[in-house]
Structure 1
């Protein structure tokens, strides 16, 4: 599913998503920001994230879809002067999770290894897919 986005948003998203991780800032009900580094993939002008359903970011996105994304490393350190983009996050349905997993497998070798380990160990990890689009 491709959503029309402005060229400026798409260009910023592509700059931010060059690395393996992005800093995903979600907001609590009282407005306080919570920053989390997450693995992501960009496809068709949308940033996708996979996460377990019981994480705080899922709860915060259910309350308010407002997010801010920026490039970061695996520890969540955002480089000085890095671009930030405000967007809207939404939780995707069950049928879309497999598509996002396919995107992740294509993008990163590490995610492929995690998926193989899950199959070998017969672990079924419930996941939620998050899509971030232009606000």
Structure 2
């Protein structure tokens, strides 16, 4: 199971690694789903490109600007990309369940701007 501070956090800092090993932190929305932490992002984002080379990640609760929550646990894990239609639907539904209207507006509004295309990928983090 995902620890409660990570499951409840509105944002988590997802740390991925460049090819040279340099860590890069990005604040993201995340949803606990069983033993996984699910993230929704653009398929051309740098974090996705980094994950294609190195699946090691760390996650820590943070605020919208990526400032870590004082005393919050940092957990190490492994990420995998979720790209099939069923997997993406699962991630979208989980995000809509946690973030409600904010996520639905962001998802639908972005799809309108992109003429119906949803160039996104899910990320599953196993701790």
**TM-score normalized with structure 1 length:** 0.84
Rate the CA distance shift 1:119–1:31 in 2: closer, same or farther, 3 A: closer
Counting matched residue pairs gives 124
1:112 deviates by: 1.8
Unaligned regions of 5+ residues in structure 1, if any? 1-9
Counterpart among 103, 106, 114 of residue 97 in structure 2: 106
Moved more, 32-41 or 78-87: 78-87
Partner of 2:79: 89
Query: CA offsets per residue over residues 81-111 of structure 1, 9 Å max, x none?
Result: 2210000000013221011101111111210
Moved over 6 A (4+): none
1:30 deviates by: 0.9
CA distance in 1, matches of 2:121, 2:2: 26
1:123 deviates by: 4.0
For the pair 1:30 / 2:20, whether they are aligned, the reply is yes
RMSD across aligned positions (CA): 1.6
CA distance in 1, matches of 2:88, 2:111: 17
Unaligned regions of 5+ residues in structure 2, if any? none
